Amino acid sequence: MTEETQDAPRQHYTDKEKDDVFNNEFLPHINSMYNFGYRLTLDRDDAKDLVQDTYLKAYRFIESFQKGTNAKAWLFRILKNSFINDYRKKSKEPNKVDYQEVEAFYNSDEVDRQITPDLRVESLKDMIGDEISNALNALDVDFRTVIILCDLEGFKYEEMAKILDIPIGTVRSRLHRARQLLKEKLSDYAKSMGYKNADV
């Protein structure tokens, strides 16, 4: 197949070694994988199917995985590709984002002068329900993805670039824009919760 197999030379594993890799390096990431699947599809059943497909593919191509390397990034990459190939086509969600525009913006002098949403730390403290989750889910899937990978899973630029097949510069600009958009959503929530912080 595919891009998943291009990097490393093929390994040769016995059946026992395969099971070891699968049990000790792949399965421990199941909760993160399920959450990533859910945040992409926004549907728990689809997330289950997606994770199942991903692990099946990972097992099938286990010999292109080098023991002891970054299994989590490898799995996330397969999941993301499966999502794009198998799920995104089916969904009606409009995903087109003009990244050139985003990057042009990021590289301009406007970045530091932009008006940041009037969101305060204090108002976040009252978001004890689903506000943050809803705000995140309301972002375009590409923006949602970088936030999950960076803020929740702690991946670095280089890992995110590999998982998403985009240049590091694009990771940066996408993250920057994603944070901005998330703050705008949270700011709307804060306002609807009765905060009047426009004067700060």
Partner 1 sequence: MSQLSNSNPFIGPSGKKPTCMEMLQFILDNDASEEQKAYFKQHMDSCMPCFKSYELDMSIRQLIKSKCCGGEAPEDLVDKIREQITQKLS
Residue 94 CB, shortest distance to partner 1, in Å, is 23
Instruction: Supply angle C-alpha 178, 89, 106, rounded to 5.
Output: 20
Task: State how far the Cα of 4 lies from the Cα of 154, in Å rounded to an integer.
Answer: 21
Least distance between partner 1 and beta carbon 59 (Å): 5
Residue closer to partner 1 (CB basis): 39 or 77? 39
CA dihedral 5, 93, 175, 4 (to 10 degrees): 0
The distance in angstroms from the start CA to the end CA of the chain is: 55
CA 183 → CA 21, 22, 178, distances in Å? Answer: 40, 39, 9
Cβ proximity to partner 1: between 77 and 148 the closer is: 148
Closest distance to partner 1 from the beta carbon of 85 (Å): 18
> In the bound complex, what is the minimum distance in angstroms from residue 40's beta carbon to partner 1?
11
Which CB sits closer to partner 1, 99 or 184?
184
Residue whose CB is less far from partner 1, 77 or 185: 185
Shortest distance in whole angstroms from residue 56 CB to partner 1: 6
Nearer of residues 27 and 166 to partner 1, judged by Cβ: 27
Q: Where do contacts with partner 1 occur on this chain (CB under 8 A)?
A: 27, 30-31, 33-35, 38-39, 44, 48, 51-52, 55-56, 59-60, 111-112, 116, 119-121, 124-125, 127, 130, 132-133, 136, 147-148, 150-152, 154-157, 172, 175-176, 179, 182-183, 186
Locate all alpha helices (DSSP H) within the chain, ordered by sequence. Answer: 15-21, 30-41, 44-60, 71-82, 99-107, 110-113, 121-124, 131-137, 141-147, 157-164, 168-192
Q: Are 92 and 39 in contact (CB under 8 A)?
A: no
